[in-house]
Each structure stands twice: as C-alpha cells, then as structure tokens.
Amino acid sequence: MNASLPGFPFFHYHQDQLYLEQVDIAALAAQYGTPLYVYSKAALLHAVSSYQQALAHTPSHLVCYAVKANSSLAILQTLAQAGCGFDIVSGGELQRVLTAGAKANTVVFSGVGKTRAEMHQALKAGIKCFNVESLQELDVLASVAKEAGTQAPVSLRINPDVDAKTHPYISTGLENNKFGIAYKQALAAYQHAASLPDLRIVGIDCHIGSQITEASPYLDTVNRLLALIQQIESHGIHLEHIDLGGGLGITYHDETPPTPTNLYQPLIERLHAHGLQSRELLVEPGRSIVGNAGALITQVLYLKPGAHKNFCIVDAAMNDLARPAMYEAYHEIVELKRHTDLPAAPYDVVGPVCESSDWLGYDRQLRVQAGDFLAVLSAGAYGMTMSSNYNSRTRAAEILVDGKSVHLIRKRETVTDLYAHEQLLP
C-alpha cells in the first residue's frame, strides 16, 4: 500500500516501508549505518523553484540561500546549479560556497562579527556585498578596502524593531537583539557610509528572525523599510537592492506557514506602490529550502519501560540534532517500517549522550522494537550544521537521493578524525 506523509511530500510509505523519492530508506540505513542524514534533491529543487516563482515578476531578484542551515558541499552545489546565490556568515562559509561552484558575485556576507581577515578574503573573492551590522564595522571595512586598494560594496542591515513572533533564541529583529543597526540610527549610518570613499553603498537589508509562520511581521518590516528608504534616498543615496532576509518557517508539526508566493506577493505590491519596483530584490532563506528536504535516520537500541514513562533509546543524540535540546523544538518521528502487529505505546525518544537534555521527542506514539529504524523529520536545516562531537561521537554520514540514485555526500567521521589535530605530551 502507498501512503503519503502529510506535510512531507517527498517521503511516502510503499508496502509499509518509508521511501524518500524512489529509495527505500531502510536499505540506506542498512548499507551506510546510522545515525544517517538523508536528503531529497527533488525537495531542494522544489523549494528553490517556489521562491523563484514567487519573485518571477520582479525585474531582477536573487535567492541567496542561507548557508548556515546546511552547508554540505553537494547541497550547496545543487543550489548553485539551480540559480541560487548565497548568504554567508564566515570566511569558512565563503570557502565552502566557492568550492561548491558558486559565483562570488552572488554572495552576500552577513553577521555582526566579521574579522579583518574575513573582509580581506571576501573582497579578494569579489562578493556581491557586505551586510554591515554596526558603525564600527563600517569603519573597519573601509580601512580594509583601502588596504586592499578597492571599494567595498555595502548594504546596511537595519534592525526594524518588529516582533517576529517566534522562539526568543531565533528572533533577531527586536531592538534588544544584537543584530543590525538600530532603526533610529539608520539614516545617520548611511550618511556616514556615504562619506567613506572606500565604501560603495549598494543596498539595504534586514532579517527579523527564523521559523516565522505568519506574514504580518514581514509586512510590518517592509512598511518600516519603505519609510526609511524614502528618507535615505532623499539625501541622494541610491539603493540598488532591497534584501528582505530569510526566516520563513516550515511545517514541523501543525504549523501552516505562508508559501513564498503568498508571503512575497503583498510585499512586492508595497514596493510597486512606492515606485521601487525596479530595484533588485534579494531574499535569504535557509530553513525553508532544506528543512523538509531532510531527515535524520536512527536505530532503536533499547526499549526501557518505566513507572511513569517509557524510553525509546536510539543511536542518534543531541550531538547529531541539537534543536530539541536547544530550543525544545518539535520534530516529527516516524517508523521506517510500519508494524501493524505491534501495539502502539508512548515513548520519550532519547539518545545515548549523558545529559537529561539529550532527547529527540517526548511522548510519541510508536510501534517499535529494538533494532527498528526511525526517521526524525524536518532535520535538513540546522541539523548537520549544528552537530558536534560531544561524548566523542563521530558525525553522521549524509546521503542525497535523486530519484532512484543514491549519492554519499559525506562519509561518516571516524574517531581518528576526531583527534587528528590533538597531540600527546612528550
């Protein structure tokens, strides 16, 4: 029997086995071991095209995928080939996107703490622009550009002081967040930038948070930006592009975020109404490109019934997927094989790491026995990139599925990889 997984269109059950595109995931788990990250290429391309369609009626636009969500080279390569630019936050991410085949002039560099070395690296590569987040950063960037004998393209990240209505740890557009230049200082910051001959002002940007499931914070932000843009341009400073950041949420459980078209259509209309339709429009989505394209596959090691709770102890842990421990995030957990003969029971799904915060899901109804495999869904974004080696656990392998084809895109780490840079005392 075939059955789709509601909310996860690239996963489906075929004869009670979970498939990703045309691949039986249990066969991958058996061949490559667990914990294992699996991604669907079709899901990545579908997500990119939904952004490209949403922006299709603007004269020029660029979808700058936020690399921090998932920076595996083959993922970046797939997105570069699909026409994405990139939003990076470190010299390391710059090196990754260039290695994956990105064109430097499609890269925007965000982040509050860029170092001089990173600025030099990015200027040398020829990136599209620096999203500058403070007045001091403007001065340092100007001095680095002077040293390099070039002009640095800059956009100022404005903190619009709007509530993104998301988890406080992933909210970034409020006045008390460390991000961006305060709305009230923005005009003065642009005037200062314009006075520095080693900088070239190219745009304006903002990013108000992540896993945003409503359109209204974006509308508030655009309204605030429009007023500011008019002010800035009335001082003779021209902005070639407007970057609306990322942050669009995905379905983890029962969230119903807007589609890119539903989100951006009204925003684009607002730009039109203000005569700004000719400006290049940039967006920086991360989670909504990769989140639901991936899952973390894990094997049940032990079932441990308790007086108050049953534990399902699996071989993936908080070092593989930190989101539940860090944000109390919900990820759907499903069986790779649907047992019709086992009774369903409630379990806390936990990992082997020695911390009580090492859990992947609380109180889940599962039909499982030791040795079975589970899929932790929506794990494509902020899964592998936030993984660690805590408890000397090796990082998982990663697979990209493309129709019937299976590509190993990252080998499982070995323990000797973990201490390769360490030294014993003489």
Q: Which residues are catalytic?
A: 354
Binds ligand LLP by CB under 6 A, chosen from 91, 257, 286, 324: 286
Nearer to ligand LLP, 118 or 372 (CB): 118
Question: Is residue 366 part of the contact set for ligand LLP (CB under 6 A)?
Answer: no
Question: Is residue 87 part of the contact set for ligand LLP (CB under 6 A)?
Answer: yes
Binds ligand LLP by CB under 6 A, chosen from 28, 43, 44, 66: 66
CB of 134 to ligand LLP, least distance (A): 14
Stretch that binds ligand LLP, among 121-129, 206-214, 306-314, 343-351 (CB under 6 A): 206-214
Site for ligand LLP in 6-65 (CB under 6 A): none
Site for ligand LLP in 139-198 (CB under 6 A): 170
Question: Is residue 210 part of the contact set for ligand LLP (CB under 6 A)?
Answer: yes
For residue 335, say whether it is annotated as part of any ligand binding site.
no
Question: Is residue 206 part of the contact set for ligand LLP (CB under 6 A)?
Answer: no
For tokens 């079975």, what's the residue? 372
Residue 372 CA to residue 370 CA, distance in Å, equals 6
Question: Is residue 246 part of the contact set for ligand LLP (CB under 6 A)?
Answer: yes
Stretch that binds ligand LLP, among 215-223, 241-249, 369-377, 392-400 (CB under 6 A): 241-249
Question: Is residue 285 part of the contact set for ligand LLP (CB under 6 A)?
Answer: yes
Question: Is residue 382 part of the contact set for ligand LLP (CB under 6 A)?
Answer: yes
CB of 95 to ligand LLP, least distance (A): 19
Residues 6+ apart with CB under 8 A from 351: 313, 314, 315, 316, 317, 318, 319, 320, 358, 359, 360
Question: Is residue 241 part of the contact set for ligand LLP (CB under 6 A)?
Answer: no
Question: Is residue 250 part of the contact set for ligand LLP (CB under 6 A)?
Answer: no
Question: Is residue 91 part of the contact set for ligand LLP (CB under 6 A)?
Answer: no
CB of 132 to ligand LLP, least distance (A): 12
Instruction: At 211, list the tokens.
Output: 């896993």
Nearer to ligand LLP, 278 or 388 (CB): 388
Residue 331 CA to residue 295 CA, distance in Å, equals 10
For residue 291, say whether it is annotated as part of any ligand binding site.
no
Provide the phi-psi class of 353: left if phi over 0, else alpha when psi is between -120 and 50, else beta.
Answer: beta
Question: Is residue 211 part of the contact set for ligand LLP (CB under 6 A)?
Answer: yes
Stretch that binds ligand LLP, among 140-148, 203-211, 346-354, 388-396 (CB under 6 A): 203-211
Question: Is residue 98 part of the contact set for ligand LLP (CB under 6 A)?
Answer: no
Nearer to ligand LLP, 26 or 69 (CB): 69
Annotated binding site for substrate: 287, 323, 327, 355, 382
Interacting residues with ligand LLP (CB under 6 A) = 66, 69, 87, 110, 170, 207, 210-211, 245-248, 284-288, 323, 327, 381-382
**Residues comprising the binding site for pyridoxal 5'-phosphate?**
247, 284-287, 382
